[in-house]
Structure 1
Amino acid sequence: MARPRSEDKRNAILEAATEVVAEQGVSAPTARIAKRAGVAEGSLFTYFENKDALLNQLYLELKRDLRHAMLDGFPAAERIKVQTRHVWDGYVDWGVANPHKRKAMSQLGVSDRVSAQTKEAGQAAFAQVSTLMQKSLAGGVLKDQPPSFAGAIMSSLAETTMEFILREPAMADRYKSAGFDAFWAAIAEH
């Protein structure tokens, strides 16, 4: 009879995979992930059919975590600039607080081991953010560009902001505001 699966073990495997992928990339051996999680390598495959299944699930988990950080407490009744700032702050705060998750998600996002379907599902979870981008772009200088382009600009500016905050934590509020102002100036009507 098969042993029942433990949610704690599954979560430990995903946490270990986050750290190992952040440190060594998607080619890191599953044995290292299992060791970091404190489970036998065979146990890893009780929870995930193979390494690709683990990486795809990890990608979705990281995207879900980021989505919650960006949208929890979303100020739906506020002006679009306030809403966009809320999403920005959530993204930057998540990235600063979770450097391993940020780096792992970045590596998984460009990996061919994460399927197109999984990447699509990860993006679908951000439909509300995408809609917000479309509204923000409606009258701005990037209005004729796809929302994914504005999203890429947001990601680039947010990454730069996160790096500066990590280097100079005492300047976090200043950098977060300056980064947002630069983003808003790039997308909003002037």
Structure 2
Amino acid sequence: MTDMTRLHQAVAIGDYNLVMRMLKKGLYNPNHKDEDWNDRTPLHWAAIKGHIEMIRLLIAYGARPCLVTDVGWTPAHFAAESGRLGVLKVLHILHAAIDAPDFFGDTPKRIAQIYGQEECMDFLEGAEVECQAYRLMAQEEGLPLDQKDEEWELKKQELGKIFPSLNQNKNRKKIQKFQGSHQTPCGQAHLH
């Protein structure tokens, strides 16, 4: 078991004090993608489990909400799937891209719809509009945003070569629109 897997596990079980000690030591990367769990980061686990204070702690130590799994799921996708409205609200406040499509074009709002999470779906309806408006304002004012996973962009190109029909699906325009509005690298966060 690697140290990174221990961090993922501590987050998943919700041991806030242990996670804080691990992060304070500086030996643990809060952005590590666990390949055994489809490239989930500790932030993905916090979103899945609904650990709101853990999300704030991870972000305070540099966790990036734009990092995605092997199919393009952000923490917001997992929160929408499991009905974690509080998590979605925190991610929205932090200007995470809660309208990001996965590899198949599904946004967190669509995931909430699929899994019958009506409160999340209702929240995301308005939050998507606000997210897009903030992104536009940030672009106009030259503010950096933390909304692009560079590793994922490369992987998506590889997947597109393996599954070319996926690049021609009905969600292609949605994906291209989102990609075009996210030109700032993920590592340049601007959080209030």
TM-score (structure 2 length as normaliser): 0.26
Higher relative contact order (CA 8 A, sep 6+): 1
Higher CA-based Rg: 1
TM-score (structure 1 length as normaliser): 0.26
